[in-house]
Chain A
Amino acid sequence: MTASRGSRIWRPRSLRTQLLFWLVTLHLAAAALTAWFTFVAYGDLVHNALDEQMRLVADSYAGSDPPRTPRPLDSEAVARGAFVVQLWSADGGTLRANSWPPLAAVPLHPAPGFSDAATGAPMPSRWRVFTAEPGPRADQPRVQVLQNEDYRRRRALRRALLEGLPIALLLPLALLILWLIVSAASRSLRAVARDVASQDERSPTDLSLARVPEEIAPLVHAFNHLLSRVRNAFATQRRFVQDAAHELRTPMAAIGLQIENLRAHVPAGEATERFNQLEAGVTRAQHLIEQLLSLSRQDAPGRAMSREPVDIETLLRESVSQLMVLADARRVDIGFEGRIAPVLLAPPAELRSVFDNLIDNALRYAPEGGVVDVRLHEAEGHAVVDVLDNGPGIPASSMGRVFDRFFRVPGAPAGGSGLGLAIARTAAERHGMRIELRNRDDGPGLMARVHLTAPAVPLTSP
């Protein structure tokens, strides 16, 4: 509910505040207007009716012969609107009778008819005055009737307030109803937002329209429409990756077989050496294609992969087993050290992709006959996997770019695709893990540390 910057007019961003503001304003205005109109119209009505009564009272006194004596009144009755009757001598000089003596201050009005007067004491007030016509006989007393004007106003005001009151009283009820409706609407908006937020970006599903108000439905419809287009785009991308996989692997398989067939026919000497170079080139191309395919598989959103409890030690054992061919080829001594046995909830294939790529990298960058260590232990308060090699490490100038696709450290050994770290990082981050790279401080080489902060499976007693 902050006012928008740069604007002097307070413009609340909350619909609820806006509605509340206008509803309160509208109700108060309606109540005030009703009261005002009632005050004016009713005031007129009361005024005319009471004037008529005053005339009748005056006439009854003027017409009575011998003249009646007005009944005395107390102040309270006068304040409540009782008529005060004054009988004056015909010349208006002497007040002969008065039903409320304090009002002697108001003299006989020379002209007959209605007029207004005001007194200071004993009751600071304004008065409505009716002065009757002089009688036919000269000795007949003059009659003047007075009524408290404030009483009239009070009556009209009370009536006006009574008329305005129901509207004012409805205000809290209206506010309550408004609050409930807005709450329900914002609840369903929040539910929609929750639905949107919990979408798996790799396989979005339609939002439910079940409890969505009609006004929000177009938004949800539009969003579902967008989702279906996203799904189509994903499906197209997925098909493309599958087709590309097929189209790339088939010729690579054929070339691999032809090289195999050629092997027996290559004469010893320089030809064998060149044949080996060819074979290494083909192996490298195959590796690159597989890395490219796994990269595009990561990008192409498929079905959400199911998480299951994965014993990290077993997974690392399998990963190392699979990479022993590379380790043997480069005569790298690979070792494992497991101090803890964490179990993580994640898709096993994704975890394999993280560790396969990191260990593969270490085996490629370790010198021929070098050492690679895989350590599973606890650091910084959680389980980590360290993959250490004794290769050249990464120069500080390249450290920021090593996760970029196709980036290869200048002077790096041949055979890598430049994609391994990118693939590992994407897979790790998707499952809440983090990869940290740093050069070892206990000698040459690189340490890749995977922080296993994905949801762990609670340990159950055996």
Chain B
Amino acid sequence: MRVLLVEDDEMIGRSLKQALEGAGWSADWVRDGELAQSALGDGDYTCVLLDLGLPRQDGTEVLRRARERGDATPVLVLTARDGLDDRIHSLDLGADDYLLKPFEFRELLARMRAVVRRRDGAAHSLIGGSTLQLDLTTREVVTGGGREALTAREFALLHALLERPGAILSREQLENRIYGWGEEVTSNAIDVLIHGMRRKLGAESIRNVRGLGWRVAA
């Protein structure tokens, strides 16, 4: 998997390239907008990490031209500017996601996986966080220990929780996602389901937040 890293800051560029290579990506690093432009024209990249403030050609300009050419490579914007305008503008221009510096490297990897998955559609239909993932095609749960098949309700439960890893879903939200309209839901149905899932995946897999609901770690 090749990633094009466009970053003019030496410190960040070098460390990020190292970190990406450590995580199994092959990274090409360019330091200005024009080089990014030509690299995008030549290479076939899985993903682009784009800084916005670049010498010679601004990051937004690189993005705009790439999209004009019909280049659909997933682009993740990395910036130290937190202006809402910048964020909206780059998303409008066709960025797939936006990450504010400084970021956790693990989060960057998760976002990269997410934008690539979104582009590929069903081919890589893995959703989830760092510890727990869900394969949407085979309807299996993927953990460090391997894959395991799920019942329809277990799948619906994990699907709801893993769509936005870390988000807390209430009992009502989970019931709406798991059970159809008019279906009789016993008061402890969710507890039974989650109890079962914890037995399968470990007690820490699905965490309860008092008064709010359940979540899986991001």
Contact = CB atoms under 8 A, between A and B. Distances in A.
B12 interface: yes
A245 B80 contact: yes
A333 interface: yes
Place the interface of chain A in its size category.
35 or more
A242 B84 CA distance: 12
A255 B210 CA distance: 36
A335 B80 contact: no
A249 B101 contact: yes
B210 A333 contact: yes
Most chain B Cβ neighbours within 10 Å, of A249, A255, A286: A249
Interface in B14-33: 15-16, 18-19, 22
Contacts of B83: 242
A286 B102 contact: yes
Given A254-B9, A324-B166, A328-B217, A336 B212 contact: yes
Nearest to B15: A257
Contacts of B80: 245-250, 253
Interface in A262-290: 264, 286
A81 interface: no
B11 A254 contact: yes
B105 interface: yes
B211 A336 contact: yes
A212 B17 CA distance: 64
A261 B19 contact: yes
Contacts of A248: 80
Nearest to A249: B80
Interface in A200-255: 242, 245-255
A246 B53 contact: yes
A335 B80 CA distance: 34
A317 B212 contact: yes
Contact of A242 (B81, B101, B167): B81
Given A246-B80, A320-B212, A335-B210, A256 B218 contact: no
B184 interface: no
B185 interface: no
B82 interface: yes
Most chain A Cβ neighbours within 10 Å, of B105, B207, B215: B105
A256 B103 contact: yes
A322 to B, nearest CB: 8
B210 A336 contact: yes
A427 to B, nearest CB: 16
A261 B22 contact: yes
B72 interface: no
Given A261-B15, A324-B215, A253 B101 contact: yes
A293 interface: yes
Contacts of A260: 15, 19, 105
A320 B168 contact: yes
Contact of A250 (B101, B105, B210): B101
A321 B212 CA distance: 9
Contacts of A317: 168, 170, 212
Contacts of B9: 250, 254
Most chain A Cβ neighbours within 10 Å, of B22, B53, B80, B83: B80
Nearest to A349: B84
Contacts of B209: 320, 324, 334-336
B27 to A, nearest CB: 12
A404 interface: no
B92 interface: no
A415 to B, nearest CB: 16
Nearest to B9: A250
B19 to A, nearest CB: 5
B22 A245 contact: no
B43 to A, nearest CB: 23
A258 B15 contact: yes
B170 to A, nearest CB: 8
Contact of B215 (A293, A321, A336): A321
A1 B207 CA distance: 70
A368 interface: no
B32 to A, nearest CB: 16
Most chain B Cβ neighbours within 10 Å, of A325, A334, A336, A338: A336
Contacts of B81: 242, 245-246
A52 interface: no
A245 B102 contact: no
B191 interface: no
A247 B210 CA distance: 40
A253 B22 contact: no
Interface string B93-132: 0000000111111000000000000000000000000000
A428 to B, nearest CB: 21
Nearest to A260: B105
Interface in A300-349: 317-318, 320-322, 324-325, 328, 333-338
Most chain A Cβ neighbours within 10 Å, of B15, B83, B166, B168: B15
A321 B81 CA distance: 24
Contacts of A246: 53, 80-81
A247 B218 CA distance: 29
Contacts of A374: 211
Contacts of B12: 250, 253-254, 257
Q: Which 9 A-B pairs have the closest CB atoms?
A: A335-B210, A254-B11, A336-B211, A257-B15, A253-B102, A249-B80, A253-B101, A246-B80, A260-B105
Given A261-B22, A336-B212, A337-B211, 19 more contacts: A242-B81, A246-B80, A249-B100, A250-B9, A250-B11, A253-B102, A255-B102, A256-B103, A256-B104, A256-B105, A293-B82, A317-B168, A318-B167, A320-B168, A321-B166, A325-B166, A328-B207, A335-B209, A338-B211
29 contacts: A242-B81, A245-B82, A248-B80, A249-B80, A249-B101, A250-B11, A250-B12, A251-B11, A252-B102, A253-B80, A254-B12, A256-B103, A256-B105, A257-B12, A257-B16, A258-B11, A260-B15, A261-B15, A264-B22, A321-B166, A321-B167, A321-B215, A324-B209, A325-B166, A335-B209, A335-B212, A336-B209, A336-B210, A336-B212
